[in-house]
Amino acid sequence: MNAVCPACGVPVVPGYVRCPKCHAGLPPAGRTKRTTADPGGTALAQRGFPISAVLVAVGVAAAIFLVFGLRRSAAPSAEEPTALPGPVEAVAVHRPAPAIAAPLAVPAAEPARAEPREPDRRAAAAELEVTLRRQRLWGRAEITGQRIDVRSGSCADKAMPPAIDGARAVLHGAGLTRLRCLEQSGAVVFERDL
């Protein structure tokens, strides 16, 4: 059963509210049943405010308040004044004079022992690392006895020997006598005296 648009006469399939050609309103097709109920999408019954849950929470809070409140009021606090005994008499305290101690005898200075030169060596190694970093040769220095090992990927670089020569005096002054330059893999590229 097709409806006909009253404005333009075009046949329209039932279910359209407006004509697809002229957009004029179409009369309703037959009797339609209208409901006033909400066409919502849930099947569960609506519930009200959970009063019982609120009452339980208030009851628990009141019980906790009462337990701790009564416990605090039952125990005497240190701040509460207590009855003082009668007047207190002043007592003179006699303190003996402190004894003067004899000065301690300072032992004679021991002859100076040779201090380990480890801090000097570490400072020299750190200075060598700074020198290499400035020239972008990037290396790590490790001290092994009187030898210093430089681990760098730039050991074969032509700028490495002049950089080491620049720090040679500091390294030799710290007691280091030998230098090895190692690749990152551990292979020795060169070894020399300082």
pLDDT surpassing 60 at residue 44:
yes
List the single range of 17-31, 89-103, 135-149, 165-179 with lowest mean pLDDT. 89-103
Summarize the confidence of residues 12-37 as an average pLDDT.
78
Structural contact between residues 137 and 167, judged by C-beta atoms closer than 8 angstroms: no
The model's pTM = 0.40
Summarize the confidence of residues 74-84 as an average pLDDT.
57
| Higher pLDDT, residue 138 or 29 | 138
Average model confidence (pLDDT) for the chain?
Answer: 79
pLDDT number for residue 148: 92
CB hemisphere CA count around 24 (13 angstroms): 13
